[in-house]
Amino acid sequence: MQELIRKLLAELDEDPNREGLLDTPKRVEKALKFLTSGYRADIDSVLNNALFTVDYSEMVIVKDIDFYSLCEHHLLPFFGKCHIAYIPTTKVIGLSKIPRLVDVFSRRLQVQERLTNEIADTISEKIAPLGVAVVIEATHLCMSMRGVEKQNSFAVTSAMLGAFRNNARTRMEFLELIKLRGAVPGPRDWAMATEACVEQD
């Protein structure tokens, strides 16, 4: 990878042998490996020993989880907050593991819509809850830094499964708790997230 980064620097009309850039290939490789470490993470070991059987059927909410990801169209960062809720049937996930789950999927090349769905689907698959809701609010540097439609550099996406999809009151309770009621598309649009990053650009 380091040789590729040296070539990239030269293609950008830089001098890879300039003092300040000498160690850059090594640093970029290390940074990129960390930022894509989600490909090499195993969900089951992340959740290892953290699925608990409980007699609890109220909504579990973890909000304001910070995440950083890379848009797969431009390899530029998009980042923001992820809010997750679910209603357990027999199992819950240890609370500290939920941000780790977000890391596994955000540390990959992503689009915001898929990131949102992958988190929801994984929770659904692992603990079979009555419902799962995931809302992600993010700023896309590929839009804002390049000056493309600045007003769209912020996007909100959501995935609503089970009770959160079928029951408007449950969904509203969640959106009320994360204070996003007005910013999220209406019930019929749950599947169609905002176009976050326009791949044609």
Residue with tokens 């019930």: 187
Nearer to Zn ion, 152 or 167 (CB): 152
Nearest to 111 by CA among 148, 74, 66: 74
| The one catalytic residue among 110, 112, 118, 197 | 112
Say what angle helices 2-11 and 24-35 make with each other, to 10 degrees: 110
Our answer to whether residue 71 is catalytic in this structure is yes
Nearest to 32 by CA among 77, 62, 66, 73: 77
Distance CA 96, CA 63 (A): 12
Closest distance to Zn ion from the beta carbon of 127 (Å): 32
| The one catalytic residue among 2, 14, 29, 73 | 73
What residues does 172 pair with on adjacent strands?
none
Helix, strand or coil for residue 27? helix
Q: Which residues bind Zn ion (CB under 5 A)?
A: 71, 73-74, 142, 197
| The one catalytic residue among 74, 83, 113, 118 | 74
- In the complex, residue closest to Zn ion by CB: 142
Nearer to Zn ion, 72 or 173 (CB): 72
Eight-state DSSP code of residue 43 = H
Closest distance to Zn ion from the beta carbon of 113 (Å): 12
Nearest to 160 by CA among 147, 172, 148, 151: 172
Residue with tokens 């990959």: 108
Is 163 within 8 Å of 66 (Cβ atoms)? Answer: no
Closest distance to Zn ion from the beta carbon of 172 (Å): 32
Our answer to whether residue 73 is catalytic in this structure is yes
Nearer to Zn ion, 89 or 144 (CB): 144
| The one catalytic residue among 82, 110, 113, 142 | 142
Closest distance to Zn ion from the beta carbon of 76 (Å): 6
- For residue 70, count other CB atoms closer than 10 A to its CB: 21
Nearer to Zn ion, 106 or 122 (CB): 106
Closest distance to Zn ion from the beta carbon of 32 (Å): 16
| The one catalytic residue among 71, 83, 118, 197 | 71
Our answer to whether residue 142 is catalytic in this structure is yes
Nearer to Zn ion, 2 or 144 (CB): 144
**Residues annotated as catalytic (active site), given as ranges:** 71-74, 112, 140, 142
